[in-house]
Amino acid sequence: MANAVQLDNEKQLLKQYYAGQQIESPNGGFLIRLGIRPREDGAATAIFECSVSWIRYAVVIRKATRTERKKVKDALTAGEDLVCPRHGPSARLVRKGKELVCRDCGVVYGKV
């Protein structure tokens, strides 16, 4: 998104986002998630908007680590519920073609 501003504290913001906490905006107010854009490399970009200033912010969500992919693969093999390693049990993984993706963060965690 061309008109979205990058944030400096992405790591802290994502930590709050994964935990389901309300995220404060740099301009006052709170950030509201507008959408998630998956990327070809397995990562995603989250677009947030400030509730006060209407400024949009883009946050890059890194792709799944080897450990996260292994955790999902082990759960798939064991027949367990497939949940997002970052969000926990509140976010189940869904099939998108042959990939297992989290709806909340847009990250690809495995293949079916």
Domain boundaries, the chain: 5-61, 66-111
Give the single-character DSSP code of 68.
Answer: H
Give the single-character DSSP code of 30.
Answer: B
Question: Sorting pLDDT into bands at 50, 70 and 90, what band is 1?
Answer: low
Does residue 10 register a pLDDT over 60? yes
Does residue 2 register a pLDDT over 60? no
Q: What 3-state class would DSSP assign to 35? A: strand
pLDDT digits (tens, 9 = 90+) for 22-65: 999 988 899 999 999 999 999 999 999 999 998 999 999 999 99
Does residue 70 register a pLDDT over 80? yes
This prediction's pTM: 0.84
% of the chain with per-residue pLDDT over 90? 79
Q: What's the token pair of residue 15?
A: 């930590």
Rounded Cα distance between 92 and 101, Å, is 9
- Position 8 scores a pLDDT of 79
Rounded Cα distance between 15 and 106, Å, is 15
Rounded Cα distance between 60 and 96, Å, is 20
